[in-house]
Amino acid sequence: MDETDPSTSAPRDSTLTKEEKWRLIQESEDLQTSDGPGVDEIEEQDSPLAEEIFTTITMIVPFSFLLLMMEILIRYQYGKHPGLNVLAERMVSNVPILALLIFYTMRYKEHRRLQIGLFLVSIGIGCRMIYLLSRGSLYVNIRQVPPLGTLWIYAIVQLELGPAALNLATVATYVWWKDLRILQ
């Protein structure tokens, strides 16, 4: 290898003039002070999807246990003792749907359209659940009330305070209008 060949030899400090050195220093400072995130900043930022998944899991766990509790309570209310396989079957079929609902509603919780949709849906769910508890048959109640109760509570939790209070007042008005008995 020929050391005099300029294409193979690295530039030496003595070959750069003072102006070229100054220009290189300025360019390197411009790169360091750019508006884009540096390597350290990228590592410190959490992935938005990872944060959404974590938030969703923190909501899925308590609402899954709420659904399980509702399944157990409705069966004991009617004198049925649920077996583990019955409860597992109900949970396996309902929790994935609940998880998808929680994931997408948590993502768009602040949007006005979702708030209006949750408000309207929760009125229907609340009225239906209380109607079933008051006048529904045994097997319809066992089948429908636990998911409805879980969804109603979830919708109330996701609503802002004003619409949530109005929702509860609307359902209470429905109960009064239909002369339904909540506590028997």
* Tens-digit pLDDT profile for residues 64-100: 999 999 999 999 989 999 999 999 999 999 999 999 9
Q: pTM of the predicted model, to two decimals?
A: 0.72
Q: Give the domain ranges of the chain.
A: 47-177
174 Cβ neighbours under 8 A, 6+ residues apart: 126, 127, 130, 180
78 Cβ neighbours under 8 A, 6+ residues apart: 138, 141, 142
| Number of residues written out for the chain | 184
Closest CA to 133 of 124, 119, 144: 144
User: What mean pLDDT do residues 18-41 have?
Assistant: 67
